[in-house]
A and B are shown apart, each in its own frame.
Chain A
Amino acid sequence: MKKYIDRGKKDTRSGFGEGLHLAGKADPRVVALTADLKGSLKMDAFAAEFPDRYFECGIAEANMIGVASGMAITGLVPFAGSFAEFVTGRVYDQVRMEVCYGKANVKIASSHAGITLGEDGATHQTMEDIALMRALPDMVVINPCDWTQTKNATIAAAKYNGPVYLRFGRPKVADFMPDEPFEIGKAYVLNGGKDVSIIATGHMVWEALKAAEVLETEGICAEVIDVATIKPLDTPTILASAIKTGAVVVAEEHNMAGGLGELVAGVLAATSPKPIEYVNGKDTFGQSGTPGELLAAYGIDADNIAEAARRVIERK
């Protein structure tokens, strides 16, 4: 099994901040907007170097999305950022009409996604955002797994012409992916396996790798796939893996409804049904706590992935 080394714990939002800064250096059309969360979104370096291309919108997310749309129409490449709930649920209609239906080249920068936002509790945690953004025609949905991949995904989003929902998180997590250009629409097979496919996205990718190490000691060879782009989904890669292993676990920091689990299940059901287990939220809101406490409490971590793998293999 291929080993991935944690180069040190880093937050994916800082990967976004680094990627935004680099994209801004490379392309003068790149601008950044935020609704009073510059520090949380790690836009400081961009704002310091490009003060004329940074727009503080105040606590007014709906207007921020509309302004970004207008900027995009004139040829700019705006990244509009806030917490995941506030750039999706709060402004769904603006994103729908002004960005997607309105064909505006806007990048929605979505930080603090999932329950690992932690102590602020359920009002600020969202486990529904992927569902909302996936439902929008033409929206690309990217959920990278570590600092390095988030940095490279941000650069790729800036180059892509069209609406992008870029989802990342708050806590410091393992940084392990190779530093290489991000390919939108590609599912990354991190290690080959034959007994079970663990299909993970975002923070769950490292948890899946940890689970695969445990499973290896039990003689189970797990294939781990990083679905960094949820829409468009790399269906061929996922199908090939599922057909090879004959058992699938999907892991995500998101509720069942509208998440990656349902998406993968739909693909398999339509073409090549296989036993499937889900590691995700089950129609639930979160609560206050540390990220580790919350992931354990809601059953979304390496231990639960390993257990789901054992269960699904039994069902083959």
Chain B
Amino acid sequence: MQSTEDLKKIASQVRRDIIRMVVEAKSGHPGGSMSSTDFMTALYFGVMDHDPATWTREGKGQDMFVLSAGHLTPMYYSILSRAGYFPTSELASFRKFGTRLQGHPSVRKGLPGVFQAAGSLGQGLSVAVGMALGKKAAKDNHSVFCLCGDGETEEGEIWEAAMFAAHHKVDNLIAMTDVNGQQIDGTTEEVAGLGDLDAKWKAFGWETISADGHDMDAILKAFSTAKGLEGKGKPVMILFRTEMGHGVDFMAGTHKWHGSVPNADQCAIALKQLEETLGDF
């Protein structure tokens, strides 16, 4: 278990990786990657029971994670590589021809750590529910985690999965929503009137936790609460309140950086705001 200070250092490096990956690839999705960086860093370096050395896609004897919001690959790949699933040097190949680091996660390129493809939105929660049931069938006392974007929860399948998981008492599942309030066309309220997510998940029969997704202590506390709720008959949803583009002043709080990439000058400014803590790839 890493200290809060250690986790913050890793998160700073992950944000540097995100900026440098999308600039190198000249494409990608930095905004949501940066809003989800802090709690995803906490998950992989402080919460999940996992071991890159013995990882298999079946996930036996380890916790599993499904990235449902598949466009958050810059954050996901950075964290996987920093956790030891593959060399950090490979981050430079992101989105390039022949890479294992496809624009959206693929299981066809042999990238360790990735359990399932994602990209078409709204599907990963169902997959995570199926994995959690698979773990129950195998009597494997491990958890399944899943990350959805808040805009993604406009997809109907999310709520199909929500109903199913509650009905089948899938209580070894901890899902997270990155509530950054932004999607491609604007704020989630402007685009779709997302409304009261806490009330919606509660109404669908889930244990619902809300936490500041940029406060490392609050993040760890939320995960600790979620773990304490496992095995009690309900799936758990953590709604992490975040800011799109968090960590770089000119990128923060706007949908404009959902899927656009800084130019060279902007990149230099961004990197000055993010401490290099573990060595750039």
Chain A positions near chain B (C-beta within 8 angstroms): 31, 52-53, 55, 57-58, 60, 62-76, 78, 93-94, 96-98, 101-104
Contacts and interface: CB of A to CB of B under 8 A. Distances in A.
Contact of B138 (A69, A74, A98, A102): A74
B10 interface: no
Nearest to B58: A75
A63 B160 contact: yes
Contacts of B116: 69-70, 73, 98, 102, 104
A65 B157 CA distance: 10
B123 A66 contact: yes
Contacts of B156: 62
A67 B120 contact: no
Contact of B130 (A52, A66, A101): A66
Nearest to A104: B116
B172 to A, nearest CB: 12
10 residue pairs, one from A and one from B, having the closest CB atoms: A70-B130, A66-B126, A74-B134, A63-B160, A60-B160, A67-B130, A70-B131, A70-B127, A71-B130, A62-B157
A111 to B, nearest CB: 21
Contacts of B66: 70
5 contacts: A58-B164, A66-B129, A73-B59, A74-B138, A102-B107
A96 B118 CA distance: 11
A255 B119 CA distance: 31
Contacts of B124: 66
Interface in B42-75: 57-60, 64, 66
Interface string B145-186: 000000000001100110110011000000000000000000
B127 A74 contact: no
Given A73-B115, A102-B107, A62 B134 contact: no
B19 interface: no
B137 interface: yes
A228 to B, nearest CB: 29
Interface of chain A: mostly helix, strand, loop or mixed: helix
B117 A98 contact: yes
Given A58-B167, A66-B161, A70-B126, A75 B108 contact: no
Interface of B: 57-60, 64, 66, 106-108, 115-120, 123-135, 137-138, 156-157, 160-161, 163-164, 167-168
Contact of A74 (B123, B131, B161): B131
Chain B CB within 10 Å — which of A53, A67, A93, A104 has the most? A67
Given A62-B156, A74-B59, A93-B123, 6 more contacts: A67-B133, A70-B126, A71-B134, A75-B60, A98-B123, A102-B116
A68 B117 contact: no
Contacts of A98: 116-117, 123, 126-127
B117 A102 contact: yes
B131 A101 contact: no
A101 B167 CA distance: 29
Nearest to A137: B108
A64 B134 CA distance: 14
Contacts of A63: 126, 129, 157, 160-161, 164
Contact of A68 (B106, B130, B168): B130
A95 to B, nearest CB: 11
Contacts of A31: 137
A94 B117 contact: no
A62 B160 contact: yes
Nearest to B125: A66
B163 A69 contact: no
B129 A53 contact: no
Contact of A101 (B58, B106, B163): B106
A150 to B, nearest CB: 26
B6 to A, nearest CB: 31
Residue from A96, A101, A102, A104 whose CB has the most chain B CB atoms within 10 Å: A102
A178 B156 CA distance: 45
Contacts of A71: 130-131, 133-134, 137
A103 B130 CA distance: 15
Contacts of A67: 126-127, 129-130, 133, 161, 164
